[in-house]
């Protein structure tokens, strides 16, 4: 009887410990999501300021898009080379490094007096966001409740909302608050410092282990059994991030031209519309659409949004421009995160999955940056209006090609 009671007491203690651990893990989950949102907010905060910097320091649209491209390049390199580091050094330590890098980017923005430090600030911001995305996304998977599929949805929503709210909040401060190129960076610097302190309370889900140097070798491949599907999805996988990249770099300038208003809040609003609607669609439709259905619906919605935007640019219709932006953003989030990503990952075996995901992210960030760099060069030769018209038409053609490919496969 004594032995049985002792065993029962042990099990009761274990259950109580598990209950005590659950609130801490839940709090840790949402704290990591908040950090991911914050560091993508830092990334999005620069977009409404591009026009201000361009006017102050007289650099071209090509330089503006090159600054954006440096951010994406740093993000991609960090994700590919250091994406697995948290498996060996621990999640919490890498998240702390990401916050320090984010704070450093804010400091460089505060110190900038020309394009040179803007390049450095954006590169460091890319490193911060890349490290946060890899370590934070992995930590969310570790900390989510057992049997839950919450982490991927929260990760994509935090990334898209961070970019969108960062653009909208910054544009409001730049337009209506004092010190337009400094206040936002002081606020974000303080937020990063506070978050770095708070992160120390996150439970460490991946204790350190040897092998970190071997993990630095990028592993990128599309398994044979996934190649046909990957090729069919590729036009849509290019169109969705290309839309977001254009709005995050040239969107505020285009909004000012189409809407005919110098109010910088409009630039932040179009960034929020294109990313926020994508995040909302990812959360709202995650249970109602299968992967193929989401890919098809997202591509068709993106075609409709691009066509509406093209018509709005030609007619200078403010209402149609904002509506087209929202529709295109909805299609972008649905096609990529609910569609292509969910279709492709089950096609790889566990040993191939990391390489396939890396290939998907390479496509995403190349499409996020390379078309925008080309557009920046085109703006200097043909103007923003003509460039935006051609860009919107190209997005519509890519999304239509992806939709046609999936219809033919079905």
Helix pair angle (384-409, 227-249), 10° resolution = 160
Distance (Å, rounded) from C-alpha 206 to C-alpha 30?
A: 17
Q: Is the CB of residue 268 less than 8 Å from the CB of residue 252? A: yes
pLDDT of residue 218: 67
pLDDT in tens, 154-173: 888 898 899 889 989 999 99
pLDDT band at 352 (very low <50, low <70, confident <90, very high): low
**Tell me: the pLDDT tens digits for 250-290?**
888 899 999 888 888 998 999 999 999 999 998 888 888 88
Tokens 């995305």, residue located = 133
- Answer whether residue 331 shows pLDDT above 70: yes
CA distance 95 to 139: 9
For the CA atoms of 90, 92, 98, 101, the dihedral, rounded to the nearest 10 degrees, stands at -100
Residues of the chain with pLDDT > 90: what percent? 39
Structure tokens at 342: 């969910």
Task: Determine the distance from the C-alpha atom of residue 344 to the mean position of all C-alpha atoms in its chain, rounded to a whole number.
Answer: 19
Average pLDDT of every residue of the chain: 84
Are 376 and 66 a contacting pair, CB within 8 Å? yes
Q: Write out the two tokens for 272.
A: 């929020």
Q: Please report the pLDDT score of residue 341 as a whole number.
A: 79
Which residue is associated with the tokens 């439709």?
Answer: 285
CA atoms of 131 and 36, how far apart (whole Å):
10
pLDDT tens digits for range 102-156: 999 999 999 988 888 999 999 999 999 888 888 888 888 788 887 676 777 888 8
| Interval 40-53: pLDDT, tens | 999 989 888 887 88
Cβ atoms 353, 345 nearer than 8 A: yes
For residues 187-191, give the mean pLDDT: 96
The residue among 304, 313, 311 whose CA lies nearest residue 331 is 304
Distance CA 122, CA 125 (A): 5
Pick from 341, 350, 370: which is nearest to 76 by CA? 370
pTM (predicted TM-score):
0.80
- What is the average per-residue pLDDT within 330-356? 79
- pLDDT of 216 strictly over 60: yes
Q: What is the pLDDT of residue 183?
A: 93
Residue 15 has pLDDT above 90, yes or no: no
Task: Answer yes or no: is pLDDT of 16 > 50.
Answer: no
Token duo for residue 18: 């598990």
Q: Cα–Cα distances in Å, from 58 out to 62, 157, 253, 288, 322? A: 12, 35, 15, 49, 29
> Which one of 150-154, 340-344, 370-374 scores highest in mean pLDDT?
370-374
pLDDT at 11: 34
Judge residue 18's burial from the number of C-beta atoms within 10 Å of its C-beta, 0-12 exposed, 13-18 middle, 19 or more buried: exposed
Q: If you average pLDDT over residues 51-70, what whole number do you get?
A: 82
Residue 215's pLDDT band, with cuts at 50, 70 and 90, is low
User: What pLDDT is attached to residue 3?
Assistant: 40
Task: State the alpha helices, DSSP H only, in 200-284.
Answer: 227-249, 251-259, 265-284
The values of phi and psi at residue 64, to 5°, are -60, -50
Strand ranges in 259-351 using DSSP code E only, listed in sequence order: none
Does the pLDDT value for residue 7 go beyond 50?
no
Q: How confident is the model at residue 396 (pLDDT cuts 50, 70, 90)?
A: very high
Angle at 76 between CA 207 and CA 324, to 5 degrees: 120
pLDDT for the residue 211? 66
């Amino acid at each position: 009887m004594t032995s049985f009671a002792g065993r029962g007491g042990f099990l009761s203690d274990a259950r109580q410990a598990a209950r005590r651990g659950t609130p801490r893990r839940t709090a840790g989950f949402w704290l990591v999501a908040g950090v991911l949102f914050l560091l993508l907010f830092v990334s999005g905060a620069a977009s409404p300021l591009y026009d201000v910097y361009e006017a102050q320091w007289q650099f071209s649209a090509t330089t503006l898009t090159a600054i954006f491209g440096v951010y994406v390049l740093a993000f991609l390199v960090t994700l590919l080379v250091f994406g697995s580091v948290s498996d060996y050094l621990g999640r919490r330590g890498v998240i702390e490094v990401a916050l320090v890098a984010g704070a450093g980017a804010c400091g460089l923005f505060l110190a900038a007096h020309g394009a040179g430090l803007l390049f450095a600030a954006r590169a460091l911001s890319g490193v911060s966001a890349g490290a946060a995305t890899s370590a934070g996304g992995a930590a969310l998977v570790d900390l989510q409740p057992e049997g839950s599929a919450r982490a991927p949805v929260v990760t994509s929503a935090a990334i898209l909302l961070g970019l969108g709210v960062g653009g909208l909040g910054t544009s409001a401060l730049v337009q209506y608050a004092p010190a337009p190129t400094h206040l936002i960076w002081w606020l974000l610097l303080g937020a990063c410092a506070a978050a770095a302190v708070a992160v120390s309370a996150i439970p460490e889900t991946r204790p350190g282990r040897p092998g970190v140097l071997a993990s630095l070798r990028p592993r990128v491949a599309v398994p044979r059994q996934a190649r046909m599907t990957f090729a069919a999805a590729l036009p849509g996988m290019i169109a969705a991030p290309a839309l977001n990249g254009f709005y995050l770099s040239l969107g505020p300038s285009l909004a000012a031209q189409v809407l005919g208003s110098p109010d910088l809040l409009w630039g932040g609003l179009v960034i929020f519309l294109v990313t926020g609607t994508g995040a909302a669609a990812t959360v709202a439709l995650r249970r109602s659409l299968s992967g193929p259905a989401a890919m098809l619906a997202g591509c068709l919605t993106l075609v409709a949004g691009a066509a509406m935007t093209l018509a709005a640019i030609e007619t200078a219709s403010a209402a149609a421009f904002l509506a087209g932006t929202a529709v295109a953003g909805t299609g972008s989030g649905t096609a990529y995160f609910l569609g292509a990503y969910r279709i492709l990952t089950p096609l790889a075996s566990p040993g191939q999955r990391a390489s396939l995901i890396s290939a998907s992210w390479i496509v995403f960030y190349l499409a996020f940056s390379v078309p925008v760099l080309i557009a920046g060069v085109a703006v200097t030769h043909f103007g923003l209006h003509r460039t935006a018209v051609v860009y919107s038409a190209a997005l519509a053609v890519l999304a239509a090609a992806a939709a046609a490919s999936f219809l033919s496969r079905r």
